[in-house]
Structure 1
Amino acid sequence: MNKTKLKIAALLGGIILCTSSAYASLDEAKQLKIISYNVYNGMKLDESEGKQQYIDWAKAQDADIIAWQEMNFFTREKLEKFAAGYGHKYAVLLKESPDDPAFFPVAITSKYPIVNVNKVVDNLWHGALFADVGNYHFVITHMNPFWTAKRIDEINLIIDSIKYSRDPNGKWIIAGDLNSFSPADKADYDKSTLLEDIKEKQKKRPILENLVNGQLSYTVQQNLLDAGYIDALKLKHKEFISTAPTKVFYDQASVPLRYDYIYVSPPLKNNVIDVKVLKDDFTDKYSDHYPVQMIINNK
């Protein structure tokens, strides 16, 4: 084969490879890695240009989908550029208000197209982002931090939104900071000083109503469990694993607690391979919450 033919063959080979890469789809992935992360007030502890520290961390995780909470000061354009930095071509922000430090939007980014987006802000404190990636239905939310009664209303709205959707029995993933306690953790909380800690906080901030009859409430999580959803972390770990506080203390309890969850619907239960709370040098100091990671079989 002469040099001209070799060059043509090489060029054609490169085109085929590029085309094949460009058309890689979700269907070709054997597994999916999903992370949910409350990043603390717009990643304010990362002072680098464009939040490069977060980009470097996300790039190292190589997740397929990331659910973000507290994406303050982000706009659609900023989120898309940020996500592209760690290889996610698709990004959706629930709402944007670049100048409001108390806006607390959620977001989702993905290697694969995000479709059928529904941004719900009515009757929810921070809102909920409903979006599909393939045939996976995601609900990304950050629940009311002040009042238990409002959180119960919010979770019931989310449960009903799924119940009356076009695919109520499909593959649903609910992720985010639910600001509430799981009955699966009750025995551990009973042995801790969490109740006293919350009572003390409520004395200092009368706006807070996070107890019911002076006790911890498990109703938010119980309603999810009663609706058939599965606490992914507890599916793989029976022991208590906290998601807050980190080495950064803000307004979370000073004793270990779990506010950050990934729930899955029954069709995904047997697909869950691994779930963990990601605790490393980065997550120790860049937010007051630790992220939760779930790996599932894509089938």
Structure 2
Amino acid sequence: MKLKLLAIISSIILSASAFASLEETKVLKIISYNVYNGMKLDESEGKQKFIDWAKIQDADIIAWQEMNFFTREKLETFAASYGHKYAVLLKESPDDAAFFPVAITSKYPIVNVNKVVDNLWHGALFADIGDYHFVVTHMNPFWTAKRIDEMNLIIDSIKYSRDPNGKWIIAGDLNSFSPADKEAYDKSHLLNDIKEKEKNRPILENLVNGKLSYTVQQNLLDAGFIDALKLKNREFIATAPTKVFYDQASTPLRYDYIYVSPSLEKDVIDVMVLKDEFTDNYSDHYPVQMKINNK
């Protein structure tokens, strides 16, 4: 009942704000969310439970991962239901449960879209909203070496773009570890968990010389990008597991990130991992939310 009431209130707010332009918006709310295999835990028609949650959040932009079974038309209808008139899906294969496309939806026009699938496991969606450049991705879950190659491709794509020093936002499930979390991982059972996983599944090569690797995100940091959550929170905050089954590790970890370029560092207002009754139960990952001053 409480969730429905909040959804109604949010709908009223959405209606009032639907006509605001990007230039008139003082603060942008951006969410990145891995929704677990096409939102399969929401069995309602049209994923109404996710829609109700998104209405309550009233984000300006949402970067989605694991949008299995969505088509362009389904995504556009889904996004419109929570007030986002614009939506882009990286790729579609309605019958493939292992396709794992990413997507981005927005209150404001999404332009200059570049869908990159070559040399990337799940792909990366490059798109502009105003003068913000977004990269939405979901990195290789099996091999650290491949993730390093994928991240280097993304870094170079930005480096050699027309606006390398612009307002860049990289969001998604990076399936890798931040060096900022090393102290927390050293105190946990994560290394042993991964060793056990690799023993049982020889395809996995996520350790390097028997140790956790931080190279993927160290390369991103070395390129000047800023881990937005750590910018505002010194403590370790896990994005998985949630309260539903999670098959990657039995100890808390952080796989979900929003990175920003140096030009946005001073504009970041707040960053948090959204943990509530809904996100506890409808995916294996928690979403990350960032608010920035829109200048």
Q: TM-score, normalised by structure 2?
A: 0.94
Q: How many residues align?
A: 280
Q: Which amino acid aligns with 1:200?
A: E
User: Are residue 214 (structure 1) and residue 210 (structure 2) matched?
Assistant: yes
Partner of 1:243: 239
Q: CA deviation at 1:204?
A: 0.7
Q: Which residue is 1:15 aligned to?
A: none
The equivalent of 1:203 in structure 2 is 199
Does 1:46 find its partner at 2:42?
yes
- The question of 1:157 aligning with 2:153 is answered yes
- The separation in 1 between residues aligned to 2:289 and 2:181, in whole angstroms, is 19
Indicate whether 1:57 and 2:80 are aligned: no
Deviation track 1:191-216 (CA, whole Å, cap 9, x = no partner) reads 00000000001111000000000000
Runs (4+) of structure 1 moved beyond 6 Å? none
Residues 111-135 of structure 1 deviation map (CA, whole Å, 9 limit, x = unaligned): 0000000000000000000000000
* One of 229, 233, 253 as aligned partner of 2:249: 253
Match for residue 123 of structure 2? Answer: 127
Percent of aligned pairs sharing the same letter: 88
Where in structure 2 are the equivalents of 1:1-299 lying within 5 Å? 24-299=20-295
Mark the runs of 5 or more structure 1 residues left unpaired by the alignment: 1-19
SS of the aligned residue for 2:291 comes to strand
TM-score of the superposed pair, with normalisation by structure 1: 0.93
Give the distance between the partners of 1:82 and 1:233, measured in 2 at CA: 28
**Could you tell me how far apart the structure 1 residues matched to 2:113 and 2:19 are?**
22
Deviation at 1:252, TM superposition (A): 1.9
Q: What CA distance in whole angstroms lies between the structure 2 residues aligned with 1:208 and 1:252?
A: 11
Instruction: Please report how far the alpha carbon of residue 250 of structure 1 lies from its aligned counterpart in structure 2 after TM superposition.
Output: 2.7
Distance change in 2, residues 1:67/1:196 (3 Å): same
Give, in whole Å, the separation in 1 of the partners of 2:105 and 2:18.
18
| SS of equivalent to 1:139 | strand
Q: Is the contact between residue 239 and residue 273 of structure 2 (CA under 8 Å) also seen in structure 1?
A: yes
- The offset of 1:21, in angstroms, is 7.6
Q: d(CA) in 2 for partners of 1:178 and 1:100?
A: 22
**1:165-211, CA deviations, whole angstroms, 9 ceiling, x for partnerless residues?**
00000000000000000000000000000000000011110000000
Aligned 8 A contact 1:176 1:260 in 2: yes
Kept after mapping to 2: 8 A contact 1:244/1:252 = no
CA RMSD of aligned residues (A): 1.0
